[in-house]
Structure 1
Amino acid sequence: MTIGPAADRVNPRSAINVVLIAPSRALGISGVSTYLTALGLRLAACGDRVSLVELRPSAIGGSSSQSSRGFRRCQVGYSSPAAAEGLVDSLVRDGDDVVVHSHADALLPFTSSLARRWHAALLHTVHYQEPNTVQLLNEHQPAVIAVSEAIARDLRAAGYQGTIDVLHHFAEDRWLGKRHLSRAAASLRQHAEISPTAPVLLFAGRANSPVKGADLLVRSIPEVQDRVPDVIFAFAGPYWLPPDVQRIADSHAAAVRLLGFLSPVALHAAYATASVVAVPSRYEPFGLVALEAQAMGTPVVASRVGGLPEVVHPSLGRLLPTDASGSVAPRVLADALGEMLKRLRSNPAVREDLVAWIAENFNPADHIARLGAIYRRENLRSRQHRRHIWGAPGQLISMKVSEARAATWAGEQPHHEPVVRFDADQAAALAREHAAVFATSSAQRDEIASEAASRAWAGRERFRGVHGSLESWMFGIVRNVAREMKRREGREQRLWSSLWGAARLRTEEMEARVVQIEDVRGVFARLPAREQTVLYLRYWKDLSYDEISRRTGIRAATCRQLARRGLIRLGRYL
């Protein structure tokens, strides 16, 4: 396998209809949403027709859209994959050269079906490698784009043999070194009660996720303060730490600020006012926080893991060695942060140098040019194969392309026999495929699929092939299981939010919120030991109840009850 450059030899600049597809949960992530929206607007400015499709499961279905300068953003709710295909058909006209670009592994079966339906080129960007990523790539054979060389290496190590184009994210030029955020930055310092001259170490991201390494930064606080006594540690994003780590933060509470969830403008104002941004992640496929921080002229101290070495400036930033688990030693992190703070005081010109480096190496125009070349290369390949594929434009070929071609060469029309009997193995596979549409994690997908397969087996006598295909029957079961699970989790989340404060913080609520968190930590220790253990593993370690059961020896159903009782007790104590 080779790592392929963009197809620079494909020069024709004819307009292409580009359909970007991502699930609603991905577009709920600020970084992915911002990147795809900026990408769509820039492609449209080059003359292409661009649609960004946000897929969200819905019992009713329907769609809505917004258009701007040739760029259309659509929200599509669907009750089944077939219904979704019908809703997005309006994006394509007869005779269009179409490129379908997927941005989620779980959507590859759907986007592959769309590409066959429209006789379009199929591309897929791997933002994060999941356990089944290579299997899906080999099955559907899209043109693959990796967001970093690290992702490309991981795909190769997992056995992927196809060509991979590596294409980094770009830095939006509206943020590059802009000082118009100075007023917002000053306001942020004032609201967070940070002195205008105090150095700030910023952590931006999910501090409640172990992979982001916020606990490593907290463990380094005492040693950093020994080197720079007036330093302030600011955390932007969801914040919760295990009790032993939180005790360290509590003992240095005067130096810790919780900024909560920030809008894109407020986040970049935080980058602008920070002295250094810390990214001590245990793994990062690319490192969008590092890119955004340096675009604002703020140096980064990061772990040498994943795609971070490709993003962090080799001399103006710092990349730190990690152990076998990807963790940076707190003392090493403290040394690097203290050294960086002292260097900035003696050499403030570092900010201008960083902005110039980002503008040169992560330029939006270069990114769009390379991506456009990839689109045209794959569109040309798609044109060459169209004559081999049976079916008029717009007609769905509900089989593998290789099977359709074989039937065409034999002079036959492709044909599928309808499913008329219940097949347990096929039902389980369909449950897993449909569960991926609703799930937000692989653990949740497995839980939904397992429950749906069990219900299907229990009710197999009610299945009649003449009343509908097994696929649609299984989709209804999976949808009902996912809906019940979401309602149950919603009830837990409302209680959890009232205890731990997952909502956005307003500045005037900051002091009251800190008191509330202190109260929660105090009463947490009053819970029975088993409830403490289950709550810690579920909400800090982010383990499923099955994983908790294997670790503790407690049945999964009992773990759910213990978690529920623990949350109820916390509510009563507070």
Structure 2
Amino acid sequence: MRVLMLSWEYPPVVVGGLSRHVQALARYLARQGNEVVVLCRHTAGTDAQTHPTTDAVADGVRIIRVAEDPAHLLFERDLVAWTLAMGHAMVRAGNSLIANWRPDVVHAHDWLVAHPAIALAEAAHVPLVSTLHATEAGRHSGWLSHPLNQQVHSVEWWLANRADEVITCSAAMRAEVAQLFELSEDDIHVIHNGIEHTDWEVPQDEVAAMRARHGRGTAPLLLFFGRLEYEKGVQDLLTALPRIRRSHPGTRLVVAGEGRHLNELVDQARRAKLLRSVDFVGHLPDHTLSAVVAAADAVVLPSRYEPFGIVALETAAAQTPLVSSTAGGLGEVVRHGRTGLAFAPGDVAGLASAVREVLDDPEAAAGRARLAKSRLRDDFDWTGIAVATEAVYRRTWLRPHPPLGRPKIATGNAFGP
């Protein structure tokens, strides 16, 4: 099949897990004999002079990376306007593409590419498939209180209702999307994210070097890695850390990642007099991150909202013990007592207790980590995920789409009765 994918991030532009997901899916679809084109962007803050539009092939995937327009728009300040400008650049590049290459299906990844994906699917007269990786309401615990929240939600609703087929990464996300966007769960496909677990194997000398850099002798070393946003729950981990250190003196924490919540987390650690026990190391290159994961006694994922939880798969690939909340897709990925230990989102006491259990019985924790790794090849293999995605492409058809009005915005909590 000829597949046109649109994503607002694609390596080396990495914001979160979406980038890795789209790259792996595109590569494995191409390995199966499909002709895949990914329409994406250069890093924010560039323009057509510093980073002109490029068209190249890597790993069997044709990647068209569009340049930003000259307008002074910043992602952090002008999100909707910046997104529309990016979409306009993608439409122009996409129109040039489909003049000589007509896809069989257009696949949109998240709301930021809704406008160009819908426009190009209609221009090519082909079906539109949408994967919704998260929702604005979910990220804000159901509240759509500000104009920006409402704008993003309404674009998500439009994309979900305009698509010919909808995919989510977990059953929890399927239920969330169905409720928020007035769809039937029976019409939504669940296809889990995947992992290439060999990428997380690191020589022991490099693991030891990371342990020496961030640890203190034999004292326990904990790790969080991911985006530093409120919904990731790192604030709960910092709150639990003094309790953990009372029973396991000297325990240290590495926080790897970037995001809007960084300054608040650093301030919280300072107020709790934890700055000497917490290393905020920012975004780490893949190989360095793999070594830190392997060096940790446990990875802790305290998410309050998590559509899937690919970090849990990456932790399993490194065969490191895992402690995670049961938020969203994490409740499907992590089997409590078998592949990791789990606690309710926001339960600081439960988090501290689970971490202490891992540190008190490292042999049992290692056994759970081994079982978690053994599941990867059967349950989260990218070949199977690509096969399932291609099956969705082949079953989709160009449905009639009457004009859509604006969705109603919940005045209270969107997840309420």
TM-score normalised over the length of structure 2 = 0.78
Corresponding residue for 2:220? Answer: 199
Question: What is the CA–CA distance in structure 2 between the aligned matches of 1:198 and 1:150, rounded to whole Å?
Answer: 37
Task: Look up the match of 1:259.
Answer: 281
Residue in structure 1 matched with residue 74 of structure 2 by the alignment: none
Q: CA RMSD in A?
A: 2.9
Q: Contact (CA 8 Å) 1:295, 1:359: kept in 2 or not?
A: no
1:542-553, aligned counterparts within 5 Å? none
**Residue 75 of structure 1: aligned partner:** 65
Aligned to 1:17: 2
Match of 2:269 in 1: 246
C-alpha displacement of 1:77: 2.3
Distance 2:206 2:94 in 1: 40
Q: Report whether the alignment pairs 1:361 with 2:384.
A: no
CA displacement at 1:276 relative to structure 2 = 0.9
Cα drift, residue 305 of structure 1: 1.5
Q: Classify 1:86/1:236 alpha carbon distance in 2 versus 1 (closer, same or farther; 3 Å).
A: closer
Superposed CA offset, 1:540-574 (max 9, x none): xxxxxxxxxxxxxxxxxxxxxxxxxxxxxxxxxxx
Which one of 11, 30, 33 corresponds to residue 47 of structure 1? 33
Query: Is 2:231 the counterpart of 1:211?
Result: yes
Question: Structure 1 279/44 Cα, relative in aligned 2: closer, same or farther at 3 Å?
Answer: same
**Which residue is 2:342 aligned to?**
319
CA contact 2:325–2:342 (8 Å) conserved in 1:
yes
- CA shift, 1:160, in A, is 2.1
Shift of 1:100: 0.8
Cα contact 2:234–2:265 (8 A) shared by 1: no
Distance 1:53 1:369 in 2: 21
Partner of 2:145: none
**Change over 3 Å in CA distance of 1:212–1:95 after alignment to 2:** closer
Matched to 1:232, the amino acid is R
Task: Report if the CA contact (8 A) 2:254-2:281 is conserved.
Answer: yes
Distance 1:361 1:93, change over 3 A: same
1:227 positional shift: 2.0
Shift of residue 85, structure 1, vs aligned partner:
2.8
Which residue of the partner structure matches residue 270 of structure 1? Answer: 292
Query: Does 2:155 correspond to 1:165?
Result: no
Aligned residues: 362
Q: What is the deviation of 1:88? A: 2.4
Give 1:240 deviation, angstroms.
Answer: 2.9
Judging changes above 3 Å, is the alpha-carbon distance between structure 1 residues 160 and 181 closer, same or farther for their aligned structure 2 residues?
Answer: farther
Find the counterpart in structure 2 of residue 301 from structure 1. Answer: 323
Deviation, 1:190, is 2.8
Separation in 2, partners of 1:60, 1:237: 29
Question: Which amino acid is 2:241 matched to?
Answer: I
- For residue 189 of structure 2, give the secondary structure of its aligned residue in structure 1: strand
1:212-231 aligned within 5 A? 212-231=232-251
Between the aligned partners of 2:265 and 2:102, the Cα distance in structure 1 is 54
Higher helix residue share: 1
SS for the counterpart of 1:348 is helix
CA drift at 1:64: 0.3
Residue in 2 that maps onto 1:137:
159
Query: What SS is found at the alignment partner of 1:369?
Result: helix
- Conserved 8 A contact 2:10-2:20: no
Cα deviation 1:57-93 (Å, max 9, x = unaligned): 8875952022134311221126565664342245447
The CA distance in 2 between the partners of 1:291 and 1:155, in whole Å, is 23
Separation in 2, partners of 1:20, 1:110: 11
Distance 2:266 2:276 in 1: 18
Q: Identify the residue that residue 37 of structure 1 maps to in structure 2.
A: 23
* C-alpha separation in 1, matches of 2:154 and 2:376: 33
For residue 210 of structure 1, report the CA deviation from its aligned partner: 2.1
Distance 2:344 2:122 in 1: 46
Residue equivalent to 2:111: 105
SS of residue in 2 equivalent to 1:165: strand
Does 1:185 pair with 2:207?
A: yes
Gaps of 5+ in 1: 1-15, 386-399, 404-428, 430-574
For 2:57 and 2:301, how far apart are their aligned partners in 1?
A: 36
Deviation track 1:503-527 (CA, whole Å, cap 9, x = no partner) reads xxxxxxxxxxxxxxxxxxxxxxxxx
**What one-letter code is carried by the residue in structure 1 that aligns with 2:263?**
W
Q: Which SS does the other structure have where 2:53 is aligned?
A: strand
Indicate which of 295, 299, 307 corresponds to 1:285: 307
CA distance in 1: counterparts of 2:296 and 2:266, whole angstroms: 27
Contact 1:192 1:259 in 2 (8 A): no
Task: Tell me how far apart the structure 1 counterparts of residues 156 and 90 of structure 2 sit (CA, whole Å).
Answer: 25
1:191 Cα deviation (Å)? 2.9
1:193 to 1:199, Cα distance in 2 relative to 1, 3 A:
closer
1:130-189 deviation per Cα after TM superposition (whole angstroms, max 9, x unaligned): 22255313652331101111111112222422410011100113236x3x3433322222
Cα pair 1:285 1:306 within 8 Å, conserved = yes
State the secondary structure of the residue aligned to 1:171: coil
Q: Work out the percentage of aligned pairs sharing the same amino acid.
A: 27
CA pair 249-264 structure 1, distance change in 2 beyond 3 A: farther
Q: In 2, distance between residues paired with 1:242 and 1:401?
A: 46
Letter in 2 for 1:220: A
Return the alpha-carbon distance in structure 2 between the equivalents of residues 30 and 139 of structure 1: 25
**Higher gyration radius (CA):** 1
Please tell me whether the aligned partners of residues 181 and 272 of structure 1 are also in contact (alpha carbons under 8 angstroms).
no
Question: 1:95 and 1:335, CA in 2 relative to 1: closer, same or farther beyond 3 A?
Answer: closer
1:98-152 residue CA offsets vs partner (Å, 9 max, x unmatched): 2111112132232111011112221111011122255313652331101111111
SS at match of 1:185: helix
Matching residue of 1:234: 254
Q: CA, structure 1 residues 54+150, in 2 after alignment: closer, same or farther (shift >3 Å)?
A: same
Letter in 2 for 1:63: T
Flag the structure with more relative contact order, 1 or 2, with Cα contacts below 8 A and sequence separation at least 6: 2
Task: Quote the Cα distance in structure 2 between the aligned partners of 1:138 and 1:233.
Answer: 39
